[in-house]
Amino acid sequence: MENLFNEDDSRAFIKKYSDQPEDLAIRIYTSRLIGKNKDLVLHGGGNTSVKLEYVNITGEKEDVIFVKGSGHDLEFIEPAGFAGLNLLLLQKLRGLDTISDIEMDNQLKINKVDSQAPDPSVEALLHAFLPHKYVDHTHADSILALTNLENGEEAVREALGSGISVLSYIKSGLPLAKYVSGEYEKNSEIEAVVVINHGIFTFGRTAKISYGNMIKYVSLAESYIEKKVKGVILKHTGSGRSIPGELKIPSTRLANTIRGACAYTRADNSRCRFFVDIRSAPYLVDASLSGNAGEICHSGVITPDHVIRTKNEIVYLDSIPGDDLSLKEFVKSKVDIFTENYDSYFKKQIKKGPLEIEKLDPYPRLFLAAGIGLAGLGKTRKEARIATDIGEHTIRTKLNTFAMGRYEPVAEDHIFEMEYWALQQKKISIQAQPPLQGQAAVITGGAGAIGFGIADRLLNAGSAVVLTDIDNERLEKTASILSKEYDEDLIHTLFIDVTDIHSVEKAYEEICLEFGGIDIVVPNAGIAHVATIENLDPDKLDQVIAVNLKGTFTVIKAVIPIFKRQGTGGNIVLISSKNVFDPGAAFGAYSASKAGAHQISRIAAIELAELGVRVNMVNPDAVFADEDENVCSGLWEAIGPDRMKSRGLDPQGLQDYYCGRSLLKTKVLAEHVGNAVVFFASNLTPTTGAALPVDAGNPSTFSR
Name the residue among 316, 140, 294, 144 with its Cα closest to residue 214. Answer: 140
- Looking at residue 634, its pLDDT comes to 59
Question: Which of 297-301, 389-393, 656-660 is the least confident region?
Answer: 656-660
φ/ψ of 339, rounded to 5, equals -70, -35
Q: What is the pLDDT of residue 503?
A: 97
Q: What is the pLDDT of residue 429?
A: 52
Q: Is residue 235 part of a domain?
A: no
Of 201, 228, 255, the residue at which a domain comes to its end is 228
CA nearest neighbour of 593 among 514, 515, 540: 540
Which of 242-251, 401-410, 549-558 reaches the highest mean pLDDT? Answer: 549-558
Integer Cα distance of 172 and 327 in angstroms: 42
Count the domains in the chain. 3
Categorize the per-residue pLDDT at 354 as very low, low, confident or very high, splitting at 50, 70 and 90.
low
Asked if the structure places residue 605 within a domain, the reply is yes
| pLDDT 10s digits, 316-345 | 999 999 999 999 999 999 999 999 999 999
Distance in angstroms (rounded) separating the CA atoms of residues 262 and 250: 18
Beta bridge partners of 199: 195
254 with 194, same domain? no
Residues in the chain: 704
Report pLDDT for 431: 60
Residue 187 within a domain: yes
CA distance 17 to 66: 15
CA-CA distances (angstroms) from residue 322 to 249, 276, 686?
11, 20, 35
pLDDT confidence of residue 334: 98
Alpha helices (H) in 290-323, listed in sequence order: 293-298, 307-310
Domain holding 407, by residue range, is 245-425
Please check whether residues 394 and 453 belong to one and the same domain.
no
Q: What is the pLDDT of residue 645?
A: 60
Kindly state whether residues 509 and 370 are assigned to the same domain: no
User: Do 107 and 70 lie in a common domain?
Assistant: yes
Beta bridge partners, 82, equal 68
Rounded (10°) angle between helices 449-460 and 670-681: 50
Residues 179 and 288 in one domain: no
User: Looking at residues 598-607, what average pLDDT do you find?
Assistant: 98
Q: Is residue 559 part of a domain?
A: yes
Which of 393, 425, 457 is the last residue before a domain boundary? 425
Q: Does a structural domain hold residue 501?
A: yes
- pLDDT bin (cut points 50, 70, 90) of residue 116 is very high
CATH number at residue 269: 3.40.225.10
Has residue 428 got a pLDDT over 80? no
pLDDT tens-digit readout, 72-107: 999 999 999 999 999 999 999 999 999 998 899 999
Whole-number pLDDT of residue 320:
96
Give the DSSP H or E segment for 675.
Answer: helix 670-681
Tell me if 454 is assigned to some domain. Answer: yes
Please indicate, yes or no, whether residues 657 and 518 belong to a single structural domain of this protein: yes
Establish if 55 belongs to a structural domain: yes
* Per-residue pLDDT, 233: 55
The reply to whether 185 and 322 lie within a common domain is: no
Helix (H) or strand (E) run with residue 317 in it = strand 315-317
C-beta separation of 44 from 136 below 8 A: no
Residues 250/257, Cβ–Cβ less than 8 Å: no
358's CB contacts (< 8 A; 6+ apart) are none
* CB distance 276 to 331 below 8 Å: no
Do 578 and 656 lie in one domain? The reply is yes
Last residue of a domain, one of 391, 425, 459: 425
Number of Cβ within 10 Å of residue 553's Cβ equals 20
Beta bridge partners of 693: 619
136 φ/ψ angles, rounded to the nearest 5 degrees: -125, 145
**Ramachandran angles phi, psi of 531, nearest 5°:** -170, 140
DSSP 476: H
Q: Which amino acid is at 493?
A: T
What's the CA gap between 342 and 337, in Å, rounded? 9
Q: DSSP code of 493?
A: E
Q: Which H or E run includes 573?
A: strand 570-575
Average pLDDT over residues 482-501: 97
Specify whether the CB–CB gap between 398 and 297 falls below 8 A: no
pLDDT at 588: 95
Integer Rg of the chain from CA: 30
d(CA 233, CA 390): 22
In this predicted model, what pLDDT tens digit does every residue of 234-251 receive, in sequence order?
A: 555 555 567 889 999 999
pLDDT at 413: 93
pLDDT at 285: 94
Residues facing 275 on adjacent strands: 378
Pinpoint the alpha helices (H) of 96-173.
101-110, 124-129, 141-147, 152-160
Looking at residues 473-490, what average pLDDT do you find? 95
Spatial contact of 259 and 566, defined as CB atoms under 8 Å apart: yes
What CATH number should be reported for the domain holding residue 525? 3.40.50.720
Indicate if the alpha-carbon torsion angle 470, 472, 478, 479 is positive or negative. positive
**Residues 448 and 415 occupy one common structural domain:** no
Q: What is the pLDDT of residue 351?
A: 87
Q: Does some domain include residue 494? A: yes
Same domain (yes/no): 579, 486: yes
The reply to whether 452 and 384 lie within a common domain is no
Average pLDDT over residues 410-419: 93
Rounded to whole angstroms, how far apart are CA atoms 303 and 146?
Answer: 12
> Cβ contacts of residue 571 below 8 Å, gap of 6+?
519, 520, 521, 613, 614, 615, 616, 680, 681, 683
Residue type at 570 in one-letter notation: G
At residue 286 the predicted structure's pLDDT band, cuts being 50, 70 and 90, is very high
**pLDDT classification of 444: cutoffs 50, 70, 90:** very high
CA 650 and chain centroid, separation: 47
What integer pLDDT is reported at residue 56 of this predicted model?
87
Domain check: are 207 and 140 in the same one? yes
